[in-house]
Chains A and B, each alone.
Chain A
Amino acid sequence: MSGPYFLGLDAGTSLTKAALFDLVGREIAVAEIATSISRPHPGWSEIDPEAAIAAAMQVLGRVVRESGVDPASIAGLGISAAMVGAWVLDEAGRPLRAAITWDDSRAQGLIDAHVAETPDFMSRIFASSGSVMQQGCTLPVMAWLAQHEPQLLARAAHVVSFKDYLRFRFTGRIGSDRTEAAVLPGSAAARDRSDEMLSLFRLEPYRHLFAPVEESEALGGHMLPEIAATIGLAAGLPVAVGAGDVAATVIGAGAMAPQTAIAVLGTACMVGVLHDRPVFDPPDVGLLFTLPANRWYRAMVNVAGTLNLDWAFATLAPEIAGRADRFDLLDAMLDATPPGAHGLTYLPYLSQSGIIAPVVDPAARAQFSGLTPRHDRACMFRAVVEGVSLAMADLLDALSFQGDRLVLVGGGARNDRWSQMIADITGRQVVVPTGTQFGARGAAWLAATATGHIADIARAGLDSRRGRAFDPASKGGCAPAYSDARAAYRNARSRALGSIASQG
């Protein structure tokens, strides 16, 4: 096959990944490189823009070389990256300071002050954006900069997000897209920034800094010759506007059809449902992402994904935590224990800041309950895996999901037993799409759309969502084998989030 091929770049806070795909989404080559954030003060999370661009060029160069394809057969590049935060640039596009990431919490005090002054502050934001605003969102970070670094902002000409900065460096064009604009916070209904939100943060004086909003799947420029030469690509390569990483992952997983649920079972666990209209229910909890093609992704993140398994390995089985065959050993432990783990229940709330879904509870913590002398380490591991799965079912319930299919991606989806368990517990068919780099694939498909190779981004993945399917033991409901476990989980969860957690 001689192409056309498309490059997708997915830049995160800890990994920058690139992959090359053909038109139906097969991964031709993948490369990744570890990147780092710096934490100059507690709660700060920053990226050196030069290091970010160097990492991006390095992985792109590697993937092109390792793929062995003729660079001339590569028809486009799409960029996706970690969302929000703030990349502040001067008139020439030079960064004025280190970039601030989504994970930065310096604005918490400012948010607290707003809430003290305007008790419905967060609710007003939710009513416009559909999301419980995170501290690292662009507007609170900008408001913090306006307070603490006004001279710097006086010299600023642009504020963009991570992927926009990469596009600027690759093409010389400044702009942003709807997936970012609507979550600054902005307006999910308008699929754009919101003047009301800007004024809520008293950022009207800085309105001019925000770059023009374009469609993610539009052509965003052409690769500058010196960049193309360094990477090993043809000069003038079309570059799509691109999208935030959540949107790109949903696109890349082929989950754009309304009433499709998609879960990203990574370190944290995000579960959400695709809609063809912005959905604000349930209010004041969860997130709403604006996607291309008039789609919205209503999601909940419970900070309770594979981190739990990593923790269990480190704490309960350190002697196998570092072993390459640890997942085989996990399988053996899962096989050694029946569903329900002999009555042992695990709540997967390991974050020190508690949970934000299905309810907001900063005091929620993980627990094992129902322990008896018969419980061994294998039981505890099964309980952990079941606990994460049951927490996902909780989120689907909170989202009032009515569909019969759940697309599952992320590290946890690599384990067949886990995928089957999620199918059995949720009563939904679990589909694990083929591939490993969904964010990069979504970005690549945006490039394919921008260059006219795909007619409709909403349909990009639909004909290529081949993957493994796991049918539920009982359709539409929890499998009998897990019904006791589910009841015990709900009981433990209600108690933990009720009487115990609320007392601090």
Chain B
Amino acid sequence: MADDLTLGIDFGTSAVKVVALARDGIVAAHASRSYETFKPAPDRAEQEPDDWWNALCEATRQVMSGLDPVRVVAAGLSGQLNGIVPVDGDGAVLGRSLIWLDQRCGQEVAELQQVHAGALAVASSPISPIAVLPKLRWLGRHEPDRIRRAKHIFQVKDYILWRLTGAFATDANEASATLLMDLGRRAWDERLLKLAGVDAGRLCPIAPSTRIAGKVTPSAARQTGLPVGLGVAPGAGDTGALGVGCGAYGTGTVAVTLGTAGHVVASAPNRPAGIARGMWRMAHVTDDRELWLGLIPAGGLSIGWLRRLGAGLGGRAPGFDELDRLVESAPAGSAGVVFLPFLEGAGTPWNDPGRLAAFAGLNATHGAAHLARAVYEGVAFNIRACLERLEQEGVAPQRVHLAEGGAQSPVWRQIIADVLGREVGFVAERDTSATGAAMLARAAISGEDLESVIAGSVRIERVHKPDPVAHQAMQAAWVRFHRHADARP
């Protein structure tokens, strides 16, 4: 069994990614298929569940095509959080899924905040239009027939689990994001369900992330190319799976991803319910710990934006290497230029959508390189602000693992190490939610302790040590950043 494989299946916002992962963290095969997001109105975002399924079938067939099926021993799931899939008694999907990006329930959020803040406290995360709770409340009010006819209300990956195996199961990590779960008890909360207008019987039971919940049916096997009877674990929401895939499970390791949005994911001990200012408290993939999430809404987007700006490079989008060289040509601290990376509003720890991005401290001696470097540094400072927030809550970060998107830039990784003044490891695998799901499947099928699975499977490709001189310069720049970031907008 040394070279057996587990599959990780991650339903992201725009595509499904499937990886076949070996015990040592090597990806033996991977495939990805995208699907459409429908935007019938500016505040709406919907996806078609059949599109997910069809994308999955293509991706799994591609992955399986190059593998001996007997090598594949289990599959684990991961997916975008807070998508709703109502299904009737005949198994028919009732309309397109409202995905997490759908913002139509602003009024419901305001009501819940004003009137029901007390009840919400057990969920332990701040409410926003992203969450399932206000979305269901909106549906109950505006499309009551759809809710009345719904025998089951799935979330994205749970719907897939059901189609693959016929099993009903979600997991605590995903459930904690809905704001319908009592984080302390890891169970659906009656008062919160009532506010959403649904009963627990229509939601999937909360099952362990690391236990096989069902087996691939013959019909699903025909469509997906997966082996009949393959055990499938519910896995976790994409934050939990990403935490596992980046090694942010044991104490002290913080994962930072720099996709379009940046995420800071840390494992934390369980504690009494309540809101942690500026951070999202969620269940981790095992009941003995929580997962804390900090959000940098434009973490990776800042670089994409900078490239579009064509800063200093001929009015076209410079390549990443070109941008890295430009950044490297400016000194640590960007000679006083400060960039606040709030293109999509300020996330953790400010949590203020009205606070927007800025270049500050500019003088006539600054050029394109200073501005570009300030963007890299600005995101790094935001990461530092998230880590300080964690420290204030008693979660002491010891190691930082960088992954995805902007983490591919060695210059940016070094800047982050210099800003944080600590070693930064680079997780080379790009689809860490998918590899995390595969690790959860590994733990489920082998019975092996998750911590040891992670230790063996998360591959740190490179470690960046802080440069003492650069770190010194960054300390002064950090003071400048803080002064601007904390100024009232």
Contacts and interface: CB of A to CB of B under 8 A. Distances in A.
A495 B344 CA distance: 21
B315 A317 contact: yes
B309 A380 contact: yes
Nearest to B345: A372
A499 interface: yes
A368 interface: yes
A501 to B, nearest CB: 10
Given A352-B363, A366-B362, A500 B309 contact: no
A250 to B, nearest CB: 27
A454 B308 CA distance: 58
A320 B342 CA distance: 29
A496 B484 CA distance: 9
Contact of B363 (A366, A370, A496): A366
Nearest to B367: A315
Contact of B360 (A318, A369, A376): A369
Nearest to B336: A365
B186 to A, nearest CB: 37
Interface string B365-378: 11110010000000
A316 B357 contact: no
Interface in A337-396: 343, 350-352, 365-373, 376-377, 380
Interface in B293-322: 298, 301, 305, 308-312, 314-315
B350 to A, nearest CB: 15
Contact of B315 (A307, A319, A369): A319
Contact of A368 (B301, B358, B367, B487): B358
A43 B296 CA distance: 44
Interface residues of B, number: 32
A448 B317 CA distance: 57
B361 interface: yes
A459 B374 CA distance: 53
B142 interface: no
A307 B363 CA distance: 10
A336 to B, nearest CB: 14
Interface string B333-368: 000100000111000000000001111111111111
A380 B311 CA distance: 11
Interface residues of A, number: 30
Nearest to B316: A319
A343 B354 CA distance: 12
B101 to A, nearest CB: 15
A316 B484 contact: no
A495 B315 contact: no
A319 B362 contact: no
A350 B364 contact: yes
B483 interface: yes
A321 to B, nearest CB: 10
B271 interface: no
A275 to B, nearest CB: 32
B359 A371 contact: yes
B487 A307 contact: no
A151 interface: no
Contacts of B310: 317, 377
A483 B255 CA distance: 44
B91 to A, nearest CB: 40
Given A372-B343, A373-B344, A500-B487, A315 B358 contact: no
Contact of A367 (B308, B311, B360): B360
Nearest to B315: A319
B198 to A, nearest CB: 36
A316 B368 contact: yes
Nearest to B358: A369
Given A315-B371, A380-B309, A351 B356 contact: no
A314 interface: yes
Interface string A305-340: 001000100111111100000000000000000000
A207 to B, nearest CB: 40
B484 A352 contact: no
User: Which interface residue of A318, A343, A351 has the most chain B CB atoms within 10 A?
Assistant: A318
B363 A376 contact: no
A290 B344 CA distance: 52
B360 A370 contact: no
A200 to B, nearest CB: 33
A2 interface: no
A395 B197 CA distance: 59
A343 B358 CA distance: 12
A376 B364 contact: no
Nearest to B338: A367
B362 A371 contact: no
Interface in B430-479: none
Given A315-B368, A376-B308, A365 B362 contact: yes
Nearest to A308: B364
B381 to A, nearest CB: 16
A351 to B, nearest CB: 7
A97 to B, nearest CB: 30
A500 B314 CA distance: 34
Contacts of B368: 315-316, 318
B363 A351 contact: yes
B374 to A, nearest CB: 11
A315 B309 contact: no
Nearest to B312: A318
A52 to B, nearest CB: 26
Contact of A373 (B298, B361, B362): B298
Contacts of A314: 367
B369 to A, nearest CB: 9
A316 B310 CA distance: 7
Contacts of A343: 356
A367 B357 contact: no
Nearest to A371: B357
Given A369-B358, A373-B301, A376-B309, A315 B366 contact: yes
Contacts of A377: 309-310, 315
Contacts of A372: 343-344, 356-357
B359 A311 contact: no
Contact of A307 (B314, B336, B364, B488): B364
Given A373-B305, A373-B344, A377-B309, A351 B364 contact: yes
A318 B356 CA distance: 26
A455 B224 CA distance: 98
Contacts of B360: 365, 367-369, 496, 500
Contacts of A496: 360
Given A316-B309, A495-B487, A368 B314 contact: no
Contact of B358 (A317, A351, A371): A371
Interface string A481-504: 000000000000001100110010
Contacts of B365: 352
Given A319-B314, A372-B356, A352 B364 contact: yes
A367 B315 contact: no
A367 B359 contact: yes
B487 A365 contact: no
Contacts of A351: 363-364
Contacts of B487: 495, 499-500
B315 A320 contact: yes
Contacts of B309: 316, 376-377, 380
Contacts of B362: 350, 365-368
Given A350-B364, A351-B364, A500-B484, A371 B356 contact: yes
Given A316-B309, A370-B356, A311 B314 contact: no
Contacts of A365: 336, 360-363
Contacts of B344: 372-373
Contact of B364 (A311, A317, A368): A311
Given A316-B311, A316-B368, 12 more contacts: A320-B315, A343-B356, A352-B364, A365-B361, A366-B362, A367-B360, A370-B356, A372-B356, A377-B315, A495-B487, A500-B483, A503-B483
11 contacts: A311-B364, A315-B366, A317-B310, A350-B363, A368-B358, A368-B360, A369-B357, A371-B357, A373-B344, A376-B309, A377-B309
Minimum-distance CB pairs A-B, first 5? A371-B357, A366-B362, A369-B358, A367-B360, A319-B314
